[in-house]
Amino acid sequence: MQDKVCLVTGATSGIGRATAKALAAQGAEVFLLVRSRDKGEIALQELAHETRNSRLHLLIGDLARQSDIRRVAAEFLSTGKPLHVLVNNAGLINTRLRHTPDGIEEMFAVNHLGYFLLTELLRQRLIQSAPSRIVSVSSGAHAFVKGLQLDDLEFQRNGFSTFAVYGHSKLCNLLWTRELARQLQGSGVTANCLHPGAVGTGLGNQNARWARYVTRLLRPFFRTPERGASSSIHLATSPEVEGVSGKYYYDCKPIRPKPWAEDDAAARELWQLSQRMTRLP
């Protein structure tokens, strides 16, 4: 990876930190996209020390704010550097309905629109840098819903449910990756996504104390972040997946998601809505 430039979102913690560390350890130049400058600087210093790689940089932006995504993407583009690997990883799970400053339900906004908008803004650079790869962290939680519900993104019809809204955002990762891979055919850019397993990370730590307590109780049964990052690292670096696109991985192997995650019409519908919600042409 010595001659590769990578960008990892959510690199302060959990799977994203472990992914960034592995890429840096393999010699790549790595941009860490983080929302907190303080946390980012600590992660950058630790990773530089642990991997002896000084080609690590911070990009600071909140993926819940589309204006931040635009600013951060412009900042990266202005470096003039190629982009060989984009890892869309930053995500969250909320136990309560929360809205972003843009007025969008937060899990859909960060977990899906964050991936969508950042990737669209960096798409031409990825194409110019081909062969290049887009790796997106989805989840087996896409099985918590039975299809897209684009007319009720907050799941108000049946009442807000953490699992449904989170699962829906992760279903969006799968359907979006499918449409993205279709659009990128022949460009030299691949797009794949993955389920990391149940991983002991900071996911959900911003929620109420009871939710953090449940997570702590379950922690012994969870994978380590390093193990959880294995498919992200495999898809980002392995020669084995050169040219492979539009797939869903678990434990470094392609698997079939639920049938409703392979619905091309739904994928196109999601794309159009995402374009409108991010005001992209």
Ligand X SMILES: NC(=O)c1ccc[n+]([C@@H]2O[C@H](COP(=O)([O-])OP(=O)(O)OC[C@H]3O[C@@H](n4cnc5c(N)ncnc54)[C@H](OP(=O)(O)O)[C@@H]3O)[C@@H](O)[C@H]2O)c1
Residues acting as catalytic residues = 166
Q: Which is nearer to ligand X, 61 or 129 (CB)?
A: 61
Minimum CB distance to ligand X, residue 32 (Å): 9
Minimum CB distance to ligand X, residue 38 (Å): 9
Q: Which is nearer to ligand X, 17 or 125 (CB)?
A: 17
Which residues in this chain contact ligand X in the complex, by CB under 6 A? Answer: 10, 12-16, 35-36, 39, 62-64, 89-92, 110-111, 137, 139, 196, 198-199, 201-203
Minimum CB distance to ligand X, residue 25 (Å): 18
Helix H, strand E, coil C: the string for the chain is: CCCCEEEEECCCCHHHHHHHHHHHHCCCEEEEEECCHHHHHHHHHHHHHHHCCCCEEEEECCCCCHHHHHHHHHHHHHCCCCCCEEEECCCCCCCCCCECCCCCEHHHHHHHHHHHHHHHHHHHHHHHCCCEEEEEECCHHHHHCCCCCCCCCCCCCCCCCHHHHHHHHHHHHHHHHHHHHHHCCCCCEEEEEEECCCECCCCCCCCCHHHHHHHHHHHHHCECHHHHCHHHHHHHHCHHHCCCCCCEEECCEEECCCHHHHCHHHHHHHHHHHHHHCCCC
Q: Which is nearer to ligand X, 17 or 123 (CB)?
A: 17
Q: Which is nearer to ligand X, 187 or 224 (CB)?
A: 224
Take residue 193 and report the two structure tokens written for it: 């996504």
Q: Which is nearer to ligand X, 129 or 178 (CB)?
A: 178
Minimum CB distance to ligand X, residue 238 (Å): 19
Minimum CB distance to ligand X, residue 137 (Å): 4
